[in-house]
Structure 1
């Protein structure tokens, strides 16, 4: 993709507006909290402190709208602490010649590293940097620096208190995450009726697991319908795949396939009803009688036998458990005890050591987070110094623009840069026009700023450009409390926005972090993770009574999901980058490898539905095949990373011995899982053969084709 096309596409993405809005009640709550801070501070202390308090209230309120499953109040408190510290240090450094650029560079570097913890931490850290640049322009003494920092923190504290006093959709994110899992399973069941090998999207399961990790307070207060249903959904997923797959489940044609389609159709209706009940909190309503009969018949009907019969009965039982759990919770007025230990999310204070370790793991030259931190530090400092050299009073808008634009990947940086330029220009011109034409007093300016804050909260989902219009307007209105020429100020701010955006994009062009170059690394990590997952499944069949097979399979599955998510995210970002794919791995090869990896993961999912009980007899040869599979995929992952050919010859020999050994077993000695292991091993080998072809280096493929052409006798 050329630079022109990449910039054109990212510009369109940045200016695209979505019709969806944030919950108006939550936007009103954030604006009310800001008003409760700004207006009294203006009355008691004047415009300068009111500006600091307003910045703290707005940014802390913005933190509560980030996509996070932590309590919103704790996010506001964390943002408030960061804002208070950054403001206090900024006020101290700005009075010492040469100290503020050094502090700016160090703080920007830390804000860049915060992306290692997660997007929410990265966004909040970037906003603290932006606030530091704005509020330190106000004339204050060193003695009052602590007061301004405290006012910033107070704004965030009021946001947190109002979240507790006025709860709105406190568990909405967790409800939606769990409901999305059941809705995705319903869609998956319907697709399996037409395409028995259709893949399942693991993204809802990943998000639901993140939502299920609770702090101690959340664990005590969560709604009862959020207990235990995620684990049931995790077990339904492989059962659906095992029933539909013709190589392990129901045959491709015939009465058994028809009955399997009935089971899938009934399951889809029940799953949709479960999703609706979870999302809305309404009582669970059983679907129509015909769907219920279609779901019940296969348990006693003559068509399904063996593994597909067991899968159908497992689906029916799991759906019944999920429905019973919701029914019991609807009838009960007492919150039931938690099922199992659950997933622990420690309080924010206790996550500091873990966050520091996470950041420490990114301190190596190839880390995208470290490169982003270095780039952000250099860009913000350079923009600040360039604005100071130009002698502009409002030069801080250049580094502030760079701070809010810069992201670890090219697509977001370019799209946000264009949106920031357009939104800031419109916002500055509109707010300056209001100030110039109507000359509002301090109270009117403060009230309009609070209204603009509410508009920013309301348009957070609509698009960055429209939200930036509101943000720029409220900043201009707040700073309008200070003396100055509005027209000249508007011109300087727009010019500094252009400078900051240009410096940010130029820095990314000179010091890029291309996801394209990391595709082989992401593919290798995914291959190794899926290999460990497949190996864990075969180990469960080869040694069912050793250790806790279910937990080992579960842990390996989570690692595979995480690696897959990182691979797909890298692919999406690489699509927007103006660079070609590396010679070792073309776009076509990546897509073929992605398909093969999906086949490999699916084969393990199908087998997972038939995991044996701990007292089941082991399947001969399965343990040996599991060990060889784990080693072979690890070696293959290293080969992909180094651009070398992938060879599964040794694994093929192990599979041939396994298949022959299982085929020779007498019927009376064959364990229940023998047929599943044989079919699953064949699926695994087919997927690895496709992967072997997909990632073959171009040079090797060209040499083989040339050799084949030379071996063909001439007919001339």
Structure 2
């Protein structure tokens, strides 16, 4: 994409408003916390002290809006601790400009590394740099600096207490994540009724998995209706896909297809009801009409073979989900991770080793996080150096703007940069006009600041430009409480904001982290993860041990993550003003389609796998483990070829598959495997050897599609 088109695209996204994400109650609670701290500090101290307290309360409140599944009070307290520490250290170094610039650069570098822990940690760490720049100019002695650090921490404590005293939708984020996953599964069931090969986006399932990771304290307090529902819901996906797929499920047309559509429609209704129950926390009933749709027709079973097997399993899973609606509080104490439905999340004290491991993993030149940390550290130091040389009273607006807009990827940096510049200019102009025309006193300025922060909290998830304008007005009114000049500082802020935005954008242009050049590595990881998942699904037929069954689940999660990473990189690369010279966009698209077919077939293998307690138990299929090893090795070799930008050759997989089919005395379908399976329809048997051979044939077809996409 040319630079002009890339800038146009990112500018458009910068001014996009997403009204559906407004949360007025949360905004009012956050503004109330700022008001308590600001007016309290004004009553007990000076305007400078009140400014520090209000900035601490604002940033701590902002932390509670981040998309994190940790307790909101912990986020507020963590942000306050970082803010108070940064301001005190910054003040100690402020008498010596060279030392302060060095400390600022190192602190900004560390804040950039915090993105290794996730977006929430990265955003909160960035705010500590901005507050350091503002607050170090307010105290005049070390005791005053300690006092300012203390009131900043007090602002965070107030916000944390308000979260506890005025809760808004307790466990709301976790409820929404799990309910969205059920709703996405309901939508998938509806689409399967009309399109047996409908694609499925696992993003909602991945989000639900992230939300299910809890600390020990959270696990003890978690509502019963959030426990034990995620894994059974995920088991429905392969079963529904197996039922709808005409190759291995219901016939493409006729009574079997009608019955499959009826069951899928009932599944969608039940899943929607479960989603509503989880979202609200209230028991909900399923209609009798829906239950009747799941009952065996009066004329007897319509589905046969694997289709009937999938339908019975799906009906059982739906019955369990429906039963849990009637008495959600009856869920007892569980011990197994699969039964509990949540994963262990490290506590705050346990985060240090996790943080160290994350930083070490990103400590390499190709890491976007490390490159971002180097950029933001250098720009913060350079911006502060330029600000110190300018004859301005508040020379920190340039580095402040640069730090706040910079993100690890091009699209966000440029879109936020444009939005920040436009919002800051607008905020400065409006606030300056208000001050010039009304000449408000200290308390009126404080009231205007609270009104601005209420607007910022309201728009924090709906448009960065609007939020930037509100935040800028907030800072202007806070700094005006001591009666300092308005017009000259307004001009200075506009000019320095433009300078800071230009520094941020130029830094990315000079030292970029293009996702476009990372596409081969992301695609290779997707191919390798898909091969491991397919191999695990085949291997369990050769050795149905508990370890191999767990491997299917683990490799599926890796496959989902690799797919999500590739999609994210592809979306970011689409907005970058560069293109990859070796890997074409059409190749990436075709390879993704082939890997999607591979993943879908692995799901079918998983769906046809009998339960561990099934009687009779699954008899090992000869040669399955060996073919699984071939799949794993050949896809790993193909992934390496993708990384080296070499043609992919997967012909050995077809040769080994043909030999395996002859060994089991069940030759593969003649001609195209897909057509043969559709002709056979649901009349195929349920013998494990027959099922795994047939599905493995589809795996080979998918890998041949991958070779065709990347073999030229």
Asked if Structure 1 and Structure 2 have the same fold, meaning a TM-score greater than 0.5 normalized by the shorter chain, the answer is: yes
Q: Does 1:595 find its partner at 2:601?
A: no
8 Å Cα contact 1:74/1:160 also seen in 2: yes
CA 1:345–1:298: 2 relative to 1, 3 Å? farther
State the 1:663 CA deviation.
3.7
Q: Secondary structure at the match of 1:471?
A: helix
State the 1:19 CA deviation.
2.4
State the 1:227 CA deviation.
0.8
Q: Deviations over 1:15-55 (max 9, x none)?
A: 12222353211111111111121111112121111111111
8 Å Cα contact 1:410/1:573 also seen in 2: yes
Partner of 1:218: 218
Partner of 1:136: 136
Q: Does 1:625 find its partner at 2:621?
A: no
Superposed, 1:652-663 pairs within 5 Å as 652-663=654-665
Q: Distance in 2 between matches of 1:227 and 1:602?
A: 28
Partner of 1:680: 695
Q: Distance in 1 between matches of 2:51 and 2:116?
A: 31
State the 1:294 CA deviation.
2.4
Q: Secondary structure at the match of 1:283?
A: coil
Q: Deviations over 1:530-571 (max 9, x none)?
A: 111111111111101x34333211111111111111110001
State the 1:483 CA deviation.
4.2
8 Å Cα contact 2:666/2:690 also seen in 1: no
8 Å Cα contact 2:306/2:686 also seen in 1: no
8 Å Cα contact 1:21/1:458 also seen in 2: no
Superposed, 1:63-82 pairs within 5 Å as 63-82=63-82
Q: Secondary structure at the match of 2:558?
A: helix
Q: Does 1:610 find its partner at 2:608?
A: yes
State the 1:578 CA deviation.
0.8
Partner of 2:423: 423
Q: Secondary structure at the match of 2:349?
A: helix
State the 1:391 CA deviation.
2.3
State the 1:283 CA deviation.
2.0
Q: Distance in 1 between matches of 2:346 and 2:363?
A: 25
State the 1:273 CA deviation.
1.5
8 Å Cα contact 1:274/1:284 also seen in 2: yes
State the 1:675 CA deviation.
2.4
Q: Secondary structure at the match of 1:349?
A: coil
8 Å Cα contact 2:515/2:570 also seen in 1: yes
8 Å Cα contact 1:422/1:465 also seen in 2: yes
Coordinate RMSD, CA, aligned: 1.6
State the 1:139 CA deviation.
4.2
Partner of 1:337: 333
State the 1:674 CA deviation.
1.8
Q: Distance in 1 between matches of 2:117 and 2:254?
A: 53
State the 1:123 CA deviation.
0.3
Consecutive unaligned residues of structure 2, counting only runs of 5 or more, are 668-684
Partner of 2:707: 692
Query: Among residues 580, 583, 597, which one is paired with 2:581 in the alignment?
Result: 583
Q: Distance in 2 between matches of 1:349 and 1:160?
A: 18
Superposed, 1:21-170 pairs within 5 Å as 21-170=21-170
Partner of 2:439: 439
Runs of 4+ in 1 over 4 A off after TM superposition: none
Q: Deviations over 1:487-517 (max 9, x none)?
A: 0000000000100011111111111110000
8 Å Cα contact 2:519/2:566 also seen in 1: yes
Partner of 2:305: 306
Q: Distance in 1 between matches of 2:84 and 2:698?
A: 58
State the 1:298 CA deviation.
6.5
Partner of 1:572: 571
Q: Distance in 1 between matches of 2:401 and 2:97?
A: 24
State the 1:682 CA deviation.
1.1
CA 1:573–1:340: 2 relative to 1, 3 Å? same
Q: Deviations over 1:80-113 (max 9, x none)?
A: 1110111111111112241110011101111111
Q: Deviations over 1:672-706 (max 9, x none)?
A: 3122212211111111011111112xxxx3xxxxx
Partner of 2:519: 519
Query: Among residues 642, 646, 655, which one is paired with 2:648 in the alignment?
Result: 646
Q: Secondary structure at the match of 1:144?
A: helix
State the 1:58 CA deviation.
0.4
8 Å Cα contact 1:112/1:370 also seen in 2: yes
Pick which of 178-187 and 336-345 moved more.
336-345
State the 1:630 CA deviation.
0.7
Q: Distance in 2 between matches of 1:260 and 1:679?
A: 21
State the 1:245 CA deviation.
1.1
Partner of 1:267: 267
Q: Distance in 2 between matches of 1:21 and 1:593?
A: 35
8 Å Cα contact 2:283/2:328 also seen in 1: no
State the 1:442 CA deviation.
1.1
CA 1:112–1:300: 2 relative to 1, 3 Å? farther
CA 1:475–1:298: 2 relative to 1, 3 Å? farther
State the 1:280 CA deviation.
2.0
8 Å Cα contact 2:405/2:413 also seen in 1: yes
State the 1:62 CA deviation.
0.3
State the 1:303 CA deviation.
2.3
State the 1:633 CA deviation.
0.8
State the 1:163 CA deviation.
0.7
Consecutive unaligned residues of structure 1, counting only runs of 5 or more, are 702-716
Superposed, 1:255-654 pairs within 5 Å as 255-287=255-287, 289=289, 291-297=290-296, 301-329=300-328, 332=330, 336-338=332-334, 340-341=336-337, 342-544=342-544, 546-580=545-579, 582-614=580-612, 615-654=617-656
8 Å Cα contact 1:192/1:198 also seen in 2: yes
8 Å Cα contact 1:227/1:339 also seen in 2: no
Q: Distance in 2 between matches of 1:340 and 1:250?
A: 35
Q: Secondary structure at the match of 1:514?
A: coil
8 Å Cα contact 2:248/2:306 also seen in 1: yes
Q: Secondary structure at the match of 1:535?
A: helix
Superposed, 1:172-187 pairs within 5 Å as 172-187=172-187
8 Å Cα contact 2:417/2:505 also seen in 1: yes
Q: Distance in 1 between matches of 2:495 and 2:565?
A: 38
Aligned residues: 687
State the 1:288 CA deviation.
5.1
Partner of 2:681: none
8 Å Cα contact 1:299/1:309 also seen in 2: no
8 Å Cα contact 1:541/1:612 also seen in 2: no
